[in-house]
Amino acid sequence: MKITEYARTTKVSDTDVLLIDGSSGTKTVSIDQLKYSLFENNPVMHRNIWRNNNLGTSVSAQQYQAISSGKFNDIYVGDYWTIGGIKWQVVDLDYFYKGGDQTFMRHHAVIMPTTSLYSSSYEDSRSNWNGYFNSKLYKSSLSTARNTINNAFSGHVIEHKEGGTYERDGSSISGAFNCRSENTTISLASTCYIFGDHFFSAITYNGQYPIVYSGQFAAFRMNGPAMLIGDDNKEWWLRDPVSTTGFAVVTDNLLANWGWADSEKGIRPYFLIG
């Protein structure tokens, strides 16, 4: 019976099988395998396809090599590792590559937990005078997250340059913020990283500091609602100061809003591995 004599269909499922023929012989491949193998040698497509595969309970040497080489073999946005009872998800690939106010040349995966690691306030009072970098949250409260992340990805968390606020400008009529860049390993995301917009951004005051990175993380671009709500449906902090008394948050109804600086919100940081 000839192949052309078989019944035809316009619908396929992931479990359907195709025949392929080549120099190594005739083999079968499932539709599920085929749709990813077509893009396996195109790293850009790895950050533009949502997959959501379980990659294991630790990052293997082979996986670290795939990331650090920039090839990202068998790693796509949405994939995750479950380490220490926490689901660590790939939210972008090479987002920071060749960017920033200093050229960043390391291939990497951007990782975030799918739930808040714990809750914390930004400050002990309803004031954001210290901005982000000088806040209690950044200087002290993030230390628990740093320990957890460094234990889970030991020796592979990458430092990069990030921009943010560090104090309110008391001489400014508008109460704008002074800004700077810092080397950081673990940080809270900005409204731009999550929502793709700078509506709560304070890092361009008086032209003193250019926005270092200005795009949305791929996972939030492709699967926004699921990424925003996370696995715990809990409000979580972002790093942008709002007004004089609070900071930006992702709300439990998937909106960008703000909360008092002394209120408790979830800590869901991002970091780079490679």
Q: Is 112 domain-assigned?
A: yes
Look at residue 202 in the predicted model and tell me its pLDDT. Answer: 57
- Quote the distance between the C-alpha of residue 137 and its chain's center: 19
Considering the domain architecture, whether residues 193 and 262 belong to the same structural domain is answered as yes
* Residue 171 within any structural domain of the chain: yes
Instruction: Tell me if 14 is assigned to some domain.
Output: yes
Residue 131 lies in a domain: yes
The answer to whether residue 64 is domain-embedded is no
Same domain, yes or no: 17 and 106: no
Asked if residue 30 and residue 102 are part of one domain, the reply reads no
Q: What are the Cα distances from residue 223, in Å, to 7, 50, 189, 273?
A: 36, 8, 17, 22
Tell whether 33 and 103 lie within a shared domain. no
By residue range, what is the domain housing residue 118? 94-273
The pLDDT value given to residue 115: 95
Q: Are residues 14 and 111 in the same domain?
A: no
Residues 229, 107 share a domain:
yes
Closest CA to 108 of 266, 226, 217: 217
Tokens of 18: 């195709």
15 and 144: one domain? no
Beta strand 25-30 pairing with 17-22: antiparallel
Of the candidates 113, 104, 102, the residue with the CA atom closest to the CA atom of residue 70: 104
Smallest CA-to-CA distance from 100 within 162, 148, 43 is with 162
- Whether residue 32 is found in the same domain as residue 105: no
- Predicted local confidence at residue 21, as pLDDT: 82
| DSSP annotation of 141 | I
pLDDT of residue 223: 92
Q: 67 in a domain, yes or no? A: no
Q: Does 110 lie in the same domain as 221?
A: yes
Q: Under a CB-based contact definition with an 8 Å cutoff, are residues 211 and 66 in contact?
A: no
Question: Does some domain include residue 50?
Answer: no
Q: Do 139 and 258 have their domain in common?
A: yes
pLDDT of residue 172: 46
pLDDT of residue 221: 95
**Residue 230 Rama label (left phi>0; alpha psi -120 to 50; beta):** left
Residue 189 shares a structural domain with residue 101: yes
Cα(182)–Cα(160) distance, integer angstroms: 8
Whether residue 57 is contained in a domain is answered as no
Low-confidence ranges of the chain (pLDDT < 70): 100-102, 167-176, 201-212
State whether 9 and 102 are in the same domain: no
Number of domains in the chain: 2
pLDDT number for residue 29: 86
58-112 residue pLDDT tens: 999 999 999 999 999 999 999 999 999 999 999 999 999 987 656 789 999 999 9
